[in-house]
Structure 1
Amino acid sequence: MTPRAAYVHIPFCEHICYYCDFNKVFLKNQPVAEYLDALEREIELTLQQYPTDRLETIFIGGGTPTALNEQQMQRLMDIISKHLLPLTDETLEYTVESNPDGVSPEKLDIMKAGGVNRVSFGVQSFDDGLLERIGRTHREAKVAETLDEAAKRFDNISVDLMFGLPNQTLEQVKYDVERALRLPITHISSYSLILEPHTVFAIQERKGKLPLPTQDLEAEMYRLMIETIEAGGLKQYEISNFSLPGKESRHNRVYWENDEYYGFGAGSHSYINQTRRANIAPIPHYIKAEGLPVRNETPLTRVERMEEEMFLGLRMKQGVSIEHFEQKYGIALDAAFGKTITKLLPRGLVERTDTHLRLTEAGVPLANEVFAEFIGEAEVE
């Protein structure tokens, strides 16, 4: 098994959102040119040591990739074109994460010319007051303007929306979804707020200054999003993701199907040769690294890979393929996890189809509880 996907991390932002814990720094005065040089070195070395026969997806994330200026964006596109695009074919999905207020028509042109065919916009909300409350710098009018411009060049556009935000109401959630559906989009990713350590929101919460919705209200928000998005023509294919037919995120499916992938850039993660790797995160240390900039490596046992297959695969609406599981691990799904499955079936949290084991509608809101049931439960001789 060789990597099917490549993730490329650009850790620069023009503004830090209050909920974000990704590896990122303020763009001003950062050694962007040196970082891009180091990124190219890492890609070259990795492909020499861990070659692949074909890449199906490339995803440039951050940080904020579109925080790069036009010249820097062109340099990034040139690196990808030189080293990664030759490993792909015409079926490639090539995505760049973008901010609604950080991408000029010139940058969109550079991305299009560089082979990008999918753009994902971090919208989060269309409520200007809520956007300000969570530390976003764009406003509703800018989203429409930017997506209309992007739609002149790309026919595969995704937006991210958030729920469970401070003081957010059901009416705001419904408006966000309905407003998104009026835009030229093919995909929505919908995430609840998670309080990550060391973020502004985590600090505010510890001080009792973060008025979050109750768990019951957040669950209502999730149900409302599902109903409204599907009524708008996008179908749920994963716990947090919805798309038009054929526009599912192929890159994310690589993660959910527990297949291998490259992770390039400071603080990025990869999964190669049944080993999970994390890169050096501080940018100066990443730039100065000799050889591959890997901070740590964690080889996975067969049992650990089987457990990951379950809690990643069950995120998808179709669930885990019974046949593929046996082909991949040389053991029947029931032989490995029969006791766990038998325990979950009567509770109505999972169900079998002819080909898959999947979450039920009742199991989706309790997905984390279901996933935990598979940890440490594999029965392997």
Structure 2
Amino acid sequence: MYIPSAYIHIPFCQQICHYCDFTKFFYHEGMADDYLNALEKEMDAYIPDEKATPKTIFVGGGTPTALNAQQLEKLLRIIDSKFHISTEMEYTFEANPGDLDEDKVKLLHDFGVNRISLGVQVFDDEMLEQIGRVHKVKDVYTNVDRLLSIGLTNISLDLIYALPNQTLEQFEQTVDEALKFDLPHYSSYSLQIEPKTVFYQRYKKGKLSKPPEDTEAAMYELLQQKMEDHGLVQYEISNFAKPGYESKHNLTYWNNEFYYGFGAGAHGYLPGKRIINLRPLPAYVKQAEKDGLPILNEEPIGKKEQMEEEMFLGLRKAEGVSLARFHDKYGVQMDEVFSDAIPQLKERGLIEVDHSHIRLTEKGRLLGNEVFQEFILEEN
């Protein structure tokens, strides 16, 4: 019996960030009401009778806390009606600094949310404005204090580096200020310029450029060293935690385990199939109201695809991919399946293999995509 996690997507934002390519829409109260009704219909279709007991729940976006207090309470009640919520289970909400007033913080706490992922990005008001954020640095302090005061202590801060015109010194200041909070978890990602974003349009017109690759690499190395000096363990390429505070939900993805995906544009992964939901909001709402299955595409996932993804995802973790776990899941030895990729990547110094795991080297982390593509198998 498999026990999936649950990802729930709330696509509304008060402001669209210049770099974001997730499914998102400007917040509108009426649209949000319709969306929550449709979301409930979709969840009913997958969990019609008894409550499910998920491994983890993650509510992301968009910005879930862009909902008003009444809508947020409705969302929490919908989730509570479909899932058994326990204090032992990781239950995460994404939030933007400035969104969390006292009423919303109390609601989250009262309904059993026990982890908050706060989208800080940088500790620099001018740069926040340049990337399309509406919060200020002071809002981070206000919201963290508000969360801690009610007992929501499992907080993660998200940071971005390699932003346009960002210097190594500016990023160091952001990391130093973030670490002053002494929180249990930090995530930090380099900027990716994705299609259908403001930054992409500027990039195409030659009006935007990222820092040079050597500066981006120096930012990543600085990040790693600062986190280590502060007692945080890098358990995944972009994630750092005090022992015991690793994101259990994200480990679901990196361990190639099953999860529901609810909401517009959400992806789900259930035995033998990957499900991708309709992305446009009117189409999602219409189909969910009709039959609870607002599916854009459902693709079969065979053993070949599972083994490939086991490597792509698992190699993101610092511990790498377990040889024994691979054999238990797929009934074959890893070095038999990837007999070409493993020796040549090892020879190039991009991976290391011991008696229990295969993992990226420091060099391999910097060239992760180059490593991952070597684990694409031939069709036969």
Which bracket does the TM-score occupy, shorter chain normalised? Answer: over 0.9
CA distance in 2, matches of 1:64, 1:316: 26
Match of 2:101 in 1: 104
Q: Is the 8 A contact 1:2 1:53 kept in 2?
A: no
- Does 2:61 align with 1:62? yes
Match of 1:233 in 2: 231
Match of 1:21 in 2: 21
Residue type at the aligned position of 1:111: L
Amino-acid identity (%): 49
CA distance in 2, matches of 1:133, 1:267: 27
- Does 2:179 align with 1:181? yes
In the superposition, relative to structure 1, how do residues 202 and 3 fare at CA in structure 2: closer, same or farther (>3 Å)?
Answer: farther
Q: How many residues align structurally? A: 376
Residue type at the aligned position of 2:185: H
CA distance in 2, matches of 1:35, 1:131: 29
Residue type at the aligned position of 2:226: T
1:311 CA displacement: 0.8
Match of 1:355 in 2: 356
1:215 CA displacement: 1.1
CA distance in 1, matches of 2:308, 2:378: 8
1:377 CA displacement: 5.2
Match of 2:298 in 1: 297
CA distance in 1, matches of 2:240, 2:5: 21
1:52 CA displacement: 9.2
- Does 2:117 align with 1:116? no
1:86-114 deviations in Å (ceiling 9; x for gaps): 2x544200000000011111101000001
Match of 1:376 in 2: 377
In the superposition, relative to structure 1, how do residues 52 and 327 fare at CA in structure 2: closer, same or farther (>3 Å)?
Answer: farther
1:218 CA displacement: 0.7
Match of 2:325 in 1: 324
3-state SS of paired residue (1:351): strand
Match of 2:122 in 1: 125
CA distance in 2, matches of 1:377, 1:105: 55
1:191-215 deviations in Å (ceiling 9; x for gaps): 0000110100000011111132011
Residue type at the aligned position of 2:249: H
TM-score using structure 1 length: 0.95
- Does 2:207 align with 1:209? yes
3-state SS of paired residue (1:20): coil
1:309-350 deviations in Å (ceiling 9; x for gaps): 001000000000000000000101111112211111111111
1:344-377 deviations in Å (ceiling 9; x for gaps): 1111111112211001112110111100110125
Residue type at the aligned position of 1:103: L
Match of 1:39 in 2: 39
CA distance in 2, matches of 1:261, 1:343: 34
1:56 CA displacement: 1.2
Q: Is the 8 A contact 1:337 1:377 kept in 2?
A: no
CA distance in 2, matches of 1:146, 1:29: 23
- Does 2:286 align with 1:283? no
1:304 CA displacement: 1.0
1:140-180 deviations in Å (ceiling 9; x for gaps): 11111111111122120001000010100111111111101
TM-score using structure 2 length: 0.96
Residue type at the aligned position of 1:66: T
3-state SS of paired residue (2:338): helix
CA distance in 1, matches of 2:249, 2:370: 26
Out of 247, 258, 261, the position equivalent to 2:256 is 258
Q: Is the 8 A contact 1:56 1:91 kept in 2?
A: no
Q: Is the 8 A contact 1:3 1:272 kept in 2?
A: no
Match of 1:8 in 2: 8
Residue type at the aligned position of 1:2: Y
CA RMSD, aligned part only? 1.6
CA distance in 2, matches of 1:282, 1:48: 25
3-state SS of paired residue (2:160): strand
For structure 1, the residue ranges without an aligned partner over 5 or more in a row are none
Q: Is the 8 A contact 2:158 2:186 kept in 1?
A: yes
CA distance in 1, matches of 2:52, 2:196: 40
CA distance in 2, matches of 1:120, 1:254: 16
1:184 CA displacement: 4.6
1:213-239 deviations in Å (ceiling 9; x for gaps): 011111111111111111112110000
Residue type at the aligned position of 2:377: G
Q: Is the 8 A contact 2:276 2:297 kept in 1?
A: yes
3-state SS of paired residue (2:159): strand
Match of 1:190 in 2: 188
3-state SS of paired residue (1:130): helix
CA distance in 2, matches of 1:317, 1:91: 25
Match of 2:197 in 1: 199
CA distance in 2, matches of 1:39, 1:206: 36
Match of 2:145 in 1: 148
CA distance in 2, matches of 1:113, 1:363: 43
Out of 165, 172, 176, the position equivalent to 1:167 is 165
Q: Is the 8 A contact 1:147 1:184 kept in 2?
A: no
3-state SS of paired residue (2:340): helix
Q: Is the 8 A contact 1:187 1:243 kept in 2?
A: yes
CA distance in 1, matches of 2:86, 2:63: 27
Residue type at the aligned position of 1:44: D
1:245-294 deviations in Å (ceiling 9; x for gaps): 10000000000011110000111110012211111111122111122111
CA distance in 1, matches of 2:157, 2:238: 12
| Runs of 4+ that moved beyond 6 A | none
Q: Which moved more, 1:152-161 or 1:320-329?
A: 152-161
Residue type at the aligned position of 1:70: A
